[in-house]
Amino acid sequence: MKIIMLGAPGAGKGTQAKRIAEEFGIPHISTGDIFRANIKEKTELGMEAKSYMDKGQLVPDELTVKILLDRVAKDDCKNGYVLDGYPRTIPQAEVLYDAVTKLDDKIDYAINVDVPDENIIDRMGGRRACVKCGATYHIKYNPPKKEDTCDICQSNLIIRDDDKPETVKNRLSVYHEQTQPLIEYYSKQGILKEVDGTQDIDVVFEDIKKILK
């Protein structure tokens, strides 16, 4: 069972990807993790990726797919995997499709965790993080006992730059322009499944399990 997770930043697709991986005993694969592992192990592909990253450039799609295919060729992926954070664009999806097809393989599901922009801005804008121990809270869904103070170490809570409304709006704008077209792309391939990501995370997961089972 080979799955691609889709959804806007803050939609909760990473959380669901991890739960799918645990439930079905397949690896959760994020391109960021693979890059870091290859660079740490100083593999040939990792060093090639690092040469782009050191210059502040994006790693080319062909190289990213090579690193991805190297990862999914490992034994723990023989029953499938969950891809989280890749592909992000139509060209990346096409390169991945060509590469997987050459191996006489295919992606089984593209699951889109659908959450409207206003919900995402509300979710991410309400996040608070502890400056000292890194604990995270949400002013509405998981508030600290005392306002702006960490329950664990009593340090101040802050809004991370990534969670500031203007940053979230910029990230959503990039998502709509570059990544959202993947929904139509995978719909045309007949593998798109959508779940309502505004529900409680346990309900979203139950909906995903119904699709996969």
- Domains of the chain by start residue, with CATH: 2-116+169-212 (3.40.50.300)
Catalytic residue among 2, 71, 127, 128: 127
Q: Active site includes 13?
A: yes
Name the average pLDDT for the chain: 93
Query: pLDDT at position 103, please?
Result: 87
Q: Active site includes 123?
A: no
Q: Active site includes 19?
A: no
Q: Look at residue 144 and tell me whether its pLDDT is greater than 90.
A: yes
- Work out whether strand 109-114 and strand 2-6 pair parallel, antiparallel, or are unpaired: parallel
How far is Cα 39 from Cα 176, in angstroms, rounded to an integer? 31
Q: Active site includes 88?
A: yes
Query: pLDDT at position 74, please?
Result: 92
How far is Cα 194 from Cα 186, in angstroms, rounded to an integer? 11
Catalytic residue among 160, 164, 209, 210: 160
Q: Active site includes 127?
A: yes
The three-point CA angle 91-121-209 to 5° equals 65
Instruction: Of 117, 104, 130, give the one whose Cα is nearest residue 197.
Output: 117
How far is Cα 26 from Cα 118, in angstroms, rounded to an integer? 33
Catalytic residue among 13, 66, 71, 128: 13
Reported pTM: 0.85
Instruction: Of 2, 27, 23, 10, give the one whose Cα is nearest residue 202.
Output: 23
Q: Quick one: what percent of the chain has pLDDT higher than 70?
A: 100
